[in-house]
Amino acid sequence: MTQAAPIRVGLIGCGGYGRQHLQRMSEIRAVELVGLADPSTKARALAREVVEQPDLPGFRDHRSLLLKIQPDAVVISTPHTLHHRQILDCLEAGCHVLCEKPLICSTQDARDVIAARDATGRILGIAYQRHTLPPYMYCREVIAAGAIGEVTFVSCWQAQAWYDLSRGTWRVKPELSGGGQLNDAGSHLLDAVLWMTQLQPEVVAAFVDKLDTEVDIVSAASVRCRGDSLCSFSIVGNAPLPGFGVWEDIVIWGTTGTLTIRNMQDVYCLRPTHPQQKVPRREMPKGSGPDTNFIAAIRGAEEIAAPAECGLSVIQLTEGILRAAESGKAVKIKQ
């Protein structure tokens, strides 16, 4: 049997997250790393060190990478507002794309990249790792099977020292970040809830505190979804937590049971006839990660875990939260 040719992968954006993707890609046997793109010479050098490939070709601009290397697939890990143009360029060059969150920074731009994906027939995925983590996969399956009845209410919060970590970086510059923690780490929380429950937000009321920055740091949003289910989202961007630590809790109330994900790790199930019980890990699906799933999807062995439609749902809700906070009124989510 002839062994399939390796998938030639390029990296666009050699910062911390980009280098993590590069490391994981280097550990996948079906992958050949073929090039880097980043305007920073230092960042490109650090990326080469991570994978111990000092001769890995590097470019200042993603277009040069696409033209001169012609990779089969790319991973994009750049400031958020750059994603739109980079995704379009990569798809038009015939590349499959895995993009860091958030996929895009406006509803129209999300529709643009989805249309380009459909026109080119390439795979476009988002590095929302919760789609490949056992606790979240388990809850999605339980909800889809109707095991807790109809979802009536979701209460969730995410806390991080995002404010301290991001000061002085591109993340607090709206022209590059597209927003604050809500559009950054907070997008994971919005996505996880929408993906697990399949709820469709319709109306949102919200408050946002930017502290002394130009972007949202603390956000509180109440959402009414189709069918009158309710959600409460809290994003605490100035939490007194060490380093890059994140704390995230999600409680999903159904008509016949409740699911709780405690800090992205443990799942608890509560039903009227049973006390709350921790779900054994052996009962959860086997997890993986966005990078391995992306390569498997290119091979045709799996579906892409977090398709572009998830990015569209998240940015629709994100825009609604920010519009509601600015107006001081409840607003309809733009579809």
pLDDT of residue 334: 85
User: Is 122:96 a contact under the CB 8 Å cutoff?
Assistant: yes
Q: Per the domain annotation, does 22 fall within a domain?
A: yes
User: Is 18:46 a contact under the CB 8 Å cutoff?
Assistant: no
Verify that 224 and 163 share a domain, yes or no: yes
Boundary-marking domain end, from 70, 99, 129: 129
Verify that 98 and 162 share a domain, yes or no: no
Tokens 């807790």 belong to residue = 148
Q: Per the domain annotation, does 14 fall within a domain?
A: yes
Verify that 24 and 83 share a domain, yes or no: yes
pLDDT of residue 31: 97
Verify that 102 and 170 share a domain, yes or no: no
Nearest Cα to Cα of residue 326 among 239, 241, 230, 209: 209
pLDDT of residue 243: 72
Boundary-marking domain end, from 104, 129, 154: 129
Q: Per the domain annotation, does 62 fall within a domain?
A: yes
Verify that 83 and 193 share a domain, yes or no: no
pLDDT of residue 271: 86
Q: Identify the CATH number of the domain in which residue 325 sits.
A: 3.30.360.10
Q: Which residues contact 89 (CB under 8 A, 6 or more apart)?
A: 62, 63, 66
User: Is 278:293 a contact under the CB 8 Å cutoff?
Assistant: no
Q: Per the domain annotation, does 301 fall within a domain?
A: no
Here the tokens at position 131 are 């789609």
pLDDT of residue 291: 98
Verify that 142 and 254 share a domain, yes or no: yes
Verify that 140 and 274 share a domain, yes or no: yes
Amino acid at 107: T
Verify that 236 and 196 share a domain, yes or no: yes
Here the tokens at position 253 are 């109330």
Tokens 């630590």 belong to residue = 245
- Cα–Cα dist 128/98, whole Å: 10
Verify that 109 and 140 share a domain, yes or no: no
Q: Per the domain annotation, does 295 fall within a domain?
A: no
pLDDT of residue 3: 66
Q: Which domain range does residue 24 map to?
A: 7-129
Q: Per the domain annotation, does 282 fall within a domain?
A: yes
Q: Per the domain annotation, does 171 fall within a domain?
A: yes
Q: Identify the CATH number of the domain in which residue 12 sits.
A: 3.40.50.720
Verify that 105 and 221 share a domain, yes or no: no
Boundary-marking domain end, from 112, 129, 146: 129
Q: Per the domain annotation, does 296 fall within a domain?
A: no
Verify that 88 and 233 share a domain, yes or no: no
pLDDT of residue 1: 41
Verify that 251 and 221 share a domain, yes or no: yes
pLDDT (tens, 9 = 90+) of the chain, 335 residues, equals 456 899 999 999 999 999 999 999 999 999 999 999 999 999 999 999 999 999 999 999 999 999 999 999 999 999 999 999 999 999 999 999 999 999 999 999 999 999 999 999 999 999 999 999 999 999 999 999 999 999 999 999 999 999 999 999 999 999 999 999 999 999 999 999 999 999 999 999 999 999 999 999 999 999 999 999 999 999 999 999 887 688 999 999 999 999 999 999 999 999 887 778 999 999 999 999 999 999 999 999 999 999 999 999 999 999 999 999 999 999 999 88
In three-state secondary structure terms, 134 is helix
Structural domains in the chain (count): 2
pLDDT of residue 222: 98
